Every structure is written in C-alpha cells, then in structure tokens.
Amino acid sequence: MEDEEGIRAHFPLSFGKKSKSQTPIESIHNATRRQTTNDSTSNNNNNNNNNNTPFPSLSSSWLNSLRKNPKPSTPIDDDVTIGPPRPPPSVDREDDDDDAMIGPPRPPPPPADSDNDNDNDDEPVIGPPRPPPAAFDSDEEFSDDDEPENRHRIPLTNEIVLKGHTKVVSALAIDHSGSRVLSGSYDYTLRMYDFQGMNARLQSFRQIEPAEGHQVRSISWSPSADRFLCVTGSAQAKIYDRDGLTLGEFIKGDMYIRDLKNTKGHITGLTCGEWHPKTKETILTSSEDGSLRIWDVNDFNSQKQVIKPKLARPGRVPVTTCAWDREGKSIAGGIGDGSIQIWSIKPGWGSRPDIYVANGHSDEITGLKFSSDGRILLSRSFDGSLKVWDLRQMKTSLKSFEDLPNHYAQTNVAFSPDEQLILTGTSVERDSTTGGLLCIFDRQKLEIVSKVGISPTSSVVQCSWHPKLNQIFATVGDKHQGGTHILYDPTLSTRGALVCVARAPRKKSIDDFQAEPVIHNPHALPLFRDQPSLKRQREKILKDPLKSHKPEAPMNGPGFGGRVGVTKGSLLTQYLLKQGGMIKETWMYEDPREAILKYADVAEKDPKFIAPAYAETQPKPVFAKSDSEDEDK
C-alpha cells in the first residue's frame, strides 16, 4: 500500500484525466472574418477573405522590420513551401530557412546580385502579382505611402455585431478603457455591454428604458468613466452610474415662460448632450427649445448657464447638436437654420457667439467634432455633406465632401486615434444598391481613403474609432432592426472584441435546471387571473357554437319565431310555459274574432285586470260621447 502511494506521488494530479478540447484561436477569427471587402481596401484583405486563413496585416512596423533583417540571397527550396506566407520574423532568419512551410509556393526569388530587391522578398504576396523586381531601383520608390491602409493601420479584416435592439441604434459611447459599450436606440432602450464579462453570444448585461416613449439620442461618459449622461427625446436628461443605476434627473423648465433664460431647465425634447472633457461635474445639453444649457451634476434643480444662439429672425429655432473642444474652453452648437456658432468660455461671457457662420449648411446639422489641436472643426448635416473647417478662418470651409446621404438626426463625424483620418456614416436611400457605408477620409490630403460596406439594408448612424482597442464601432439600423458593428484586426487590435469572441459560452448543466413554482389562485380578479391551459381553452371553444363555427342542425319539426327547432321557441321561459300548459298555440287554426269573443263572458263574470279597479266608482262602464259625426251615424 505504501509502495502504491509512493508511485502515485511521482505523477501529477491531472494524470489520467481527459483534457478539454480547445478551439484554435485562428478558426475563431476566421468565423468573424468579413466576407465582402470594398474595392478601396488593400489587396491583402481580399486575399484573406478568399482563402479564409489568418493572414497577418501589413503594417509599417512590420515592413521596417523586414528591411532591417533582409533575407540572405541563397536560394530556398520552393517545393516545400506550401500554404500562406509566414508571420513577421521574430528570430534569426537563418534558423527559419530550413523549416517546411505549408500553402501555395512562393514566387521565384529575384537574382542574387540585387541587394535592394532582397529587402522585399519576405513580404507576403497577396492579391494580384506585383510588377517585376527590376521596376524598383531603390527603397525610396517603394515606401509606405504606396499602401495607405498599411500606413493608417485600419482594422477591417474581422467583424462582430452587438445585437439586441429592434430599431436603429442612434447613440453610442465607449468608456476610456474600452471595457464597456453603451448603445441607445429608437426603441426607447439603452443596452450595456461588458467585454470582460461577455462571451461569444455577445449579449448585453443590462437593459434600461430611460424615458418611457422617448428615443435615446445621445450618451456620454464622464472623464473618470464612473458615470454617464443619457439624453432622450424628453426635456430631462438623466445621470447613471457605471452599473446603470439612476443617480438623478435634471429639472424641467416652465413651458409658459416666454424668455428661456428665466426657465430652470429645458422645456421641450433634448437633441444632444456631452460631458465636459476635463471637469467631471459639468455637462452640456442642447434642446429643441432653441437653447444650450450647462449643468452641474451635483445640483439637479438648477443650471449654471443658459446660452441662446444668435438668430437671423426672432423666434425659436432648435439647437440640433453641441460639442466641447478637447480642453473644454469652447462650445460649438449646430442650429436648425444651418448655422454654426462657437462660444469661448471666459469671464463674463454670454450668449453672443465668438464665431458665427450663417450659412454653414443648407439644412440641419447632425454632428460637430473638434480636433485635439483646436484647429479643425468637422460638421455633418442633413444636406448630405461633410465639411472641414479651419477655426482660424471660418468664412469658407477647407473642403466639402458631397453625396453622403443622411436621414438621421444623430449621424455623427469622428476622428481616428491619430486624427489623420475622418470617419462618418451614410444612410440607405430608396433606390440605393450599396447600403450603409462607413466613409473614411484623409485629413491632410482632404480626399477619400476608403468606403467600407457595413450593412446592405441598414443605415450607418454613429461611428467611433477607439484609441486603446484600435477597433472601429459603427451603429446601424432601420425601422425593424438595429445593432453595433465592431471592426477589428487580430494582429492590430487589442482586447475588446478579441476577448469576448475567444470566450465560448458555458454549456448548460443539469444543475442549471430550476423548477418554477406554480401558485394557483382561483379566486383572483380577472385582471390577475392565470390564463387557462390551451387544452381547456380548446375544449371550451368547441362547446361554443359561435366560436367553433358549428353548423346549424337540420330541420326536424315545425318552425317558430323564424327559427327551426323542437322547442318551438328560443327562450327558456317560453319552453316552460308551453310544457306547463299555460301557452296553447291555437291561433293558427282559429278565427281571430271568435278567439277574442269567447273570452267575453268569462271577462264579464270574473274580471282580472282593469275592471276591478272601477267596481265601486263605476259599476257600469260609461264611455265618452264621440264628437265625430261619423261615429254618431
């Protein structure tokens, strides 16, 4: 016995146990790979989709590493190189030359006497073949500028969708760490997603309805990401904590006061809201009542500042959107008449704007965005345009990108993490064949870089490029469905979608079964009474001749009262009187006059109804004399 225990001590505790089969991470990412790519995307993405293999993306850092470690000019046996190209080299190249590769063979190596051409031999050949090696005379002719996708490192190879909404997703907010995502929709709900606690089913862990019957229009995280602001179609914005618990609701103003500066809050539906980028106690909201208001989250009953925009004509024009600059020293507002107005926060500032662009757009503005350096302002409008403004010279825009259809008041515009690219979404038109697109523009060259197809039937409303995750978020939807598409690249992105996609959902166990208790209350009110079983309902319906559509019985006796039946009547009282002999049906065989006169003697001897009342006062009936001549005759 002691010898057996001594032998067992030499083996680990897991000896003899079956290990759980794990799905390779490559196959998981292959399942989320985008099936269709745009013509403007790089050729390597197209080849990836055709082969369904986890190719590494071509990035500038990888290209530089290849130039630093050129491949030796010795020839390699190409017959054993099968499969896709290798990932970026991490060890000495001389050690890897003898390893067998899997996939299609590499292209023939260039001549050994060309030193500069050897720098690009390890680069994967993806897509159509490159020009002959002789076309490149030096490293300067083959630079990163020839491949804009590699230079910008746009994550577009894989995609997942956060579903749950039944209408278009109009609001989106990702916290600064990239762990939680908030999405609001026209279905009046707000959903919260947590990448750390979410598995491959991509289900939200909480659903909130901020204002019953009002659309969710804007969501914004606080600088510390411990609270978030929710703006709906109601006149009152709400503050929630990180877990979705309500912290407070701002007060509503008196709608009968004409001057908006004298009201304590907004009086009509809100359009946009944003948290101060530096101060965690200050927020900004805009409304359809034609005002912007600055609030203190510690006091929900009064605002700090009321801003009334400058109008060409007196009246109330809605403020459709608002935005802070990066330092929180300026406020931009998009007015319903198409004007752009900017206020600088300084001592003694008021409602008079410091920058006023009267005809910024020909229609309502849906999105505004400041650059971090405070030089560029982006504006998106219903007129189907995206304009780039220089804040130092606001008379005319630097560039106006047209033919970008927009049908939603929450369509925004965003920057890439390095602010070299500009992102916005497009809406689906009635006769369109392209669907909702995510358009990417170059800030320096002011030209379009790529158009990425997100959904063939739904419009792209909100978009965001998270700097820490390096993943692109795009919300889509229409009147019947809505979701948040997340674009990522396994070789370029970190955490976020990579965490939840690789986590398989837990299998159901027999211990998960719980019998739900059934409480029978037969004397409950009809409002709270349990619904009967389907079997009992069917039996009850079959007994009902109307609900069961029972055919009429055949005629088996004389008719009575327009109906056919042996009872000769439709009422229970008539049936009982007939059975008791009180009703005798002789009217069909007797003369009407004789039938009435046969009761004359009986009525005179034994009056029952009217005659006994006049027995004492008028024993003999006296009839009134007629005034008519005809009756006298």
CATH number of the domain to which 359 belongs: 2.130.10.10
Contact 535, 545 (CB under 8 A): no
Higher pLDDT, 165 or 73: 165
Out of 112-126, 210-224, 490-504, the most confident range is 210-224
Digit-coded pLDDT (tens) for 70-110: 444 334 344 444 444 545 544 444 444 444 455 555 655 55
User: Is 48's pLDDT higher than 70?
Assistant: no
Strand bridging mode 282-287 / 270-275: antiparallel
Query: Domain tally for the chain?
Result: 1
Digit-coded pLDDT (tens) for 411-456: 999 999 989 999 999 999 887 778 889 999 999 999 999 899 998 8
Would you say residue 539 lies in a domain?
Answer: no
Angle at 328 between CA 215 and CA 306, to 5 degrees: 60
Would you say residue 174 lies in a domain?
Answer: yes
Residue 565: exposed, middle, or buried by beta-carbon count in 10 A (0-12, 13-18, 19+)? Answer: middle
Would you say residue 36 lies in a domain?
Answer: no
Would you say residue 213 lies in a domain?
Answer: yes
Give the CA distances from residue 621 to residues 75, 503, 603, 631, in Å, rounded to whole numbers and listed in that order: 143, 106, 14, 19
Give the CA distances from residue 470 to residues 35, 155, 302, 464, 623, in Å, rounded to whole numbers and listed in that order: 21, 7, 39, 10, 111
- Across all residues in the chain, what is the average pLDDT? 77
Q: What is the arithmetic mean of pLDDT over 315-338?
A: 91
Would you say residue 609 lies in a domain?
Answer: no
Alpha-helical regions (H) of 18-104: 25-31, 43-51, 60-68, 93-96
Angle at 592 between CA 588 and CA 597, to 5 degrees: 130
Would you say residue 253 lies in a domain?
Answer: yes
Would you say residue 417 lies in a domain?
Answer: yes
Evaluate if pTM is beyond 0.85: no
How confident is the model at residue 514, as a pLDDT? 77
Query: At a CB cut-off of 8 Å and minimum separation 6, what does 150 contact?
Result: 42, 57, 58, 59, 60, 63, 144
Range of the domain at 423: 158-505
Confidence of residue 529 (pLDDT cuts 50, 70, 90): confident
Would you say residue 472 lies in a domain?
Answer: yes
Query: At a CB cut-off of 8 Å and minimum separation 6, what does 453 contact?
Result: 36, 38, 434, 435, 436, 437, 438
Give the whole-angstrom CA distance, residue 21 versus residue 39.
39
